């Protein structure tokens, strides 16, 4: 397993490879996560991130699986943390727990409103935006490497891409070390976003986030939630694959391969895979990228 710091790896010429897990709720899905973690070790991911659920509901599970991925599987783990439902003091406590567990990087997020709520309402003693969380982590745990979220197609609540970029700049100015993007299927959106970041004075690496589609309905649902577009060409391929699950997966893998190739050829610092705790699409993609010489 690679143990260089994320920062160092983002600056290397060899591209970084990272994956995102979510904390499982049932025993069955826990087994799947651990199986996937075991399998993907063979590809030496530079880091594995693990998400943080709405309303602090996964506080203990995020920490539990972050520890397990680190201690039992040797991953360089980056837990996510959101402001949802937490006071400043609670957040400080969680940051200290991450520190005590030896987790040396955190993805700092505002988070989405809990299920059933449409607007984000900060805790009365809490934080309103991710830039405030970046500042808080920097205060409690200054040596921690910090990732933040970026939106090539704009955050759904932002009035414009320009304002969203100004807000991204606030996170970087507060101390974020790199940006991981929301998933996207059109590389032109990523390249335009990176150019706009540079123009907005955002001088940290922007790691592209990719997801291999396993179901058209699921992809449409995700994309509606996060404001990502599905290119007409991709949608036509998914429609042509119809109900044939394997054919849909093959389209998803081929599309993410095409995206990853172009991103890496044109200088992206690596790829971050939203794997939904599944190993197969990541294996198929990494095998192709290794065969094409992008990864060893
Ligand atoms: C890589 C990645 C990982 C994610 N992981 C998780 C996770 O683990 N758990 C989870 O619940 N969600 C996760 N999300 C989803 C994320 O929480 C949502 O997109 C959320 O709505 C915004 O979070 P943020 O950190 O980008 O917020 P912010 O950066 O705070 O932005 C939220 C909105 O407010 C605006 N804004 C930001 N700062 C200011 C300011 N100072 N003043 C005025 N306006 C401002 C922005 O333009 C944006 O519209 C993830 C998203 C990404 C891309």
Q: Yes or no: is domain 6-291 CATH 3.40.50.720?
A: no
Residue 6 has pLDDT above 90, yes or no: no
Residue 56 has pLDDT above 80, yes or no: no
Query: Which among 155, 164, 197 is the best mutation to test ligand 1's pocket, defined by most ligand atoms within 8 Å of the CB?
Result: 155
Nearest to 122 by CA among 150, 88, 94: 88
Q: Residues for the chain: how many in total?
A: 296
Nearest to 50 by CA among 71, 26, 79: 79
Residue 1 has pLDDT above 60, yes or no: no
User: Taking all residues of the chain, what is their mean pLDDT, rounded to a whole number?
Assistant: 95
**pLDDT tens digits, 137-160:** 999 999 999 999 999 999 999 999
Q: Where are the alpha helices (DSSP H) in the chain?
A: 6-11, 27-40, 59-71, 88-100, 130-140, 161-173, 187-199, 216-226, 232-241, 245-265, 280-291
Helix (H) / strand (E) element for 49: namely: strand 47-50
Domain extents for the chain? 6-291
**pLDDT tens digits, 233-281:** 999 999 999 999 999 999 999 999 999 999 999 999 999 999 999 999 9
Burial degree of 224 (CB within 10 A; 0-12, 13-18, 19+): exposed
Q: Give the Å distance between the CA of 149 and the centre of ligand 1.
A: 6
Give dist(CA 217, CA 203) in Å, integer: 36
Q: Give the Å distance between the CA of 61 and the centre of ligand 1.
A: 21
Q: Is 153 a catalytic residue?
A: no
End-to-end CA distance of the chain: 13
Q: Give the rounded distance of the alpha carbon of 135 from its chain centre.
A: 20
Lowest mean pLDDT among 91-105, 109-123, 172-186, 251-265: 109-123
Query: Which among 129, 148, 228 is the best mutation to test ligand 1's pocket, defined by most ligand atoms within 8 Å of the CB?
Result: 129
Residue 55 has pLDDT above 70, yes or no: no
Please name the residue whose Cα sits nearest to atom 17 of ligand 1.
Answer: 111
Give dist(CA 191, CA 130) in Å, integer: 24
């Amino acid at each position: 397993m690679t143990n260089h710091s994320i920062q160092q790896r983002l600056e290397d010429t060899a591209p970084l490879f990272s994956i995102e897990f979510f904390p499982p709720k049932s025993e069955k899905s826990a087994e799947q996560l651990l199986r996937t973690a075991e399998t993907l070790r063979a590809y030496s991911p530079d880091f594995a991130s693990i998400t943080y659920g709405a309303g602090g509901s996964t506080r203990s599970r995020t920490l539990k699986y972050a520890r397990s991925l680190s201690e039992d599987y040797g991953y360089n783990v980056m837990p996510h943390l959101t402001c949802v439902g937490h006071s400043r003091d609670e957040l400080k406590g969680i940051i200290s727990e991450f520190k005590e567990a030896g987790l040396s990087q955190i993805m700092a997020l505002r988070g989405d409103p809990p299920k059933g709520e449409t607007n984000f309402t900060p805790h009365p003693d809490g934080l309103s935006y991710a830039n405030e969380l970046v500042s808080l982590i920097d205060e409690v745990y200054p040596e921690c490497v910090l990732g933040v979220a970026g939106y090539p197609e704009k955050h759904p609540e932002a009035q414009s891409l320009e304002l969203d970029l100004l807000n991204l700049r606030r996170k970087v100015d507060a101390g974020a070390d790199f940006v991981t993007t929301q998933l996207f299927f059109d590389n032109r959106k990523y390249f335009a976003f990176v150019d706009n970041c540079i123009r907005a004075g955002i001088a940290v690496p922007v790691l592209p986030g990719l997801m291999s589609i396993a179901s058209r309905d699921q992809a449409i649902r995700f994309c509606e939630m996060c404001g990502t577009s599905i290119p007409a060409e991709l949608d036509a391929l998914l429609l042509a694959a119809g109900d044939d699950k394997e054919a849909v997966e093959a389209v998803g893998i081929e599309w993410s391969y095409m995206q990853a190739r172009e991103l890496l050829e044109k200088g992206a610092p690596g790829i971050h895979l939203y794997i939904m705790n599944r190993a197969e699409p990541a294996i198929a993609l990494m095998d192709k990228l290794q065969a094409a010489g992008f990864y060893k």
